[in-house]
Amino acid sequence: MTIATVSFIGSGNLATHLAKAFFRNGIRVNSIYSPNFSHAATLADTVDAKAAKDIKAIAPSDLIVICVTDSVIQDVSNALNSQSFVVHTSGSTSAEILRGHQNYGVFYPFQTFSKNVELDFSEVPVFIEANSDSNLLALQELALAISRKVTVLDSQQRLKLHLAAVFASNFSNHMYSIARDILSKADLPFDILNHLIQETTTKALQSDDPAKGQTGPAVRNNLNILEQHKEILADKPLWQKIYTFVSNSIMERETERKNGTFQR
């Protein structure tokens, strides 16, 4: 079976990038449904699809892609025809949530998506899972139409991958955000950090273990500086707690690394 037509439930960042990638690569997008009709209509316009006014009104398609926040996946699934082949796109939700359908799976593009930032989907890893070998093959073929990096991953591993991504992407972005706010209070511009941030990232990506390249007062066990920094953060209790626990974790990891007690 080849998936030639898809429909979307949802019209957020992920749905937008995914629908565009399908459209550009010759997969027909039939319908887009979103509780917010004008959102759905905007996206539908750009990919030559129809916006559906009701979830029951989406056109029959080889695959229905659910791109909604995790907590409503179950409701959406229940609202869809159980004969349809459906996938969700969530990192932390088991494929089994869709087991009310004869054909189901997961299609998880592994990226941080912002609506207004164009990205080259061919470099975005896509992780797939399905309830049967033939469905898995169909999802693989579809994924390969838009990405060069397609991997089969079960729900347990995907959950851990998602957790790792939260640290590597969401949390590192929040570290940038806190840094920006500290600079802003000191009347210094955020772009003063550009070169440092780029160099840190480049170094980490060239390494098989970023812990080996850890720098800063915590890994040097420079307790005087840690105290000075915590003092500056006295008026921001959450930032102070983050400072304390991340520093402790850096020191713990460094001790394990030096003693060779860290496994893998």
Distance between CA atoms of residues 224 and 199, nearest Å: 26
The reply to whether 23 sits near a copy of itself by the rule CB under 8 A is no
Q: Near a copy of itself by CB under 8 A, which window of 28-36, 81-89, 114-122, 128-136?
A: 114-122
Which DSSP string corresponds to 178-219?
A: HHHHHHHHTT--GGGGHHHHHHHHHHHHT-S-GGGG--STTT
260: left (phi over 0), alpha (psi -120 to 50) or beta: left
Among 46, 102, 170, 255, interactor with a copy of itself by CB under 8 A: 170
Distance between CA atoms of residues 72 and 88, nearest Å: 11
Question: Whole-number minimum distance, CB 143 to a copy of itself, in Å?
Answer: 15
Is the Cβ of residue 54 or residue 120 nearer to a copy of itself in the bound state? 120
The reply to whether 167 sits near a copy of itself by the rule CB under 8 A is yes
Distance between CA atoms of residues 140 and 233, nearest Å: 49
Question: CB burial class (10 A; 0-12, 13-18, 19+) of residue 137?
Answer: middle
The reply to whether 97 sits near a copy of itself by the rule CB under 8 A is no
Q: Near a copy of itself by CB under 8 A, which window of 3-11, 24-32, 37-45, 243-251?
A: 243-251
177 to 206, contacts with a copy of itself by CB under 8 A? 177-188, 190-201, 203-206
Question: Taking a C-beta distance cutoff of 8 angstroms, is the pair 169, 114 a contact?
Answer: no
Is the Cβ of residue 53 or residue 160 nearer to a copy of itself in the bound state? 160
Is the Cβ of residue 69 or residue 102 nearer to a copy of itself in the bound state? 69
57 to 86, contacts with a copy of itself by CB under 8 A? 69-71
The reply to whether 112 sits near a copy of itself by the rule CB under 8 A is yes
Name residue 212's amino acid. K
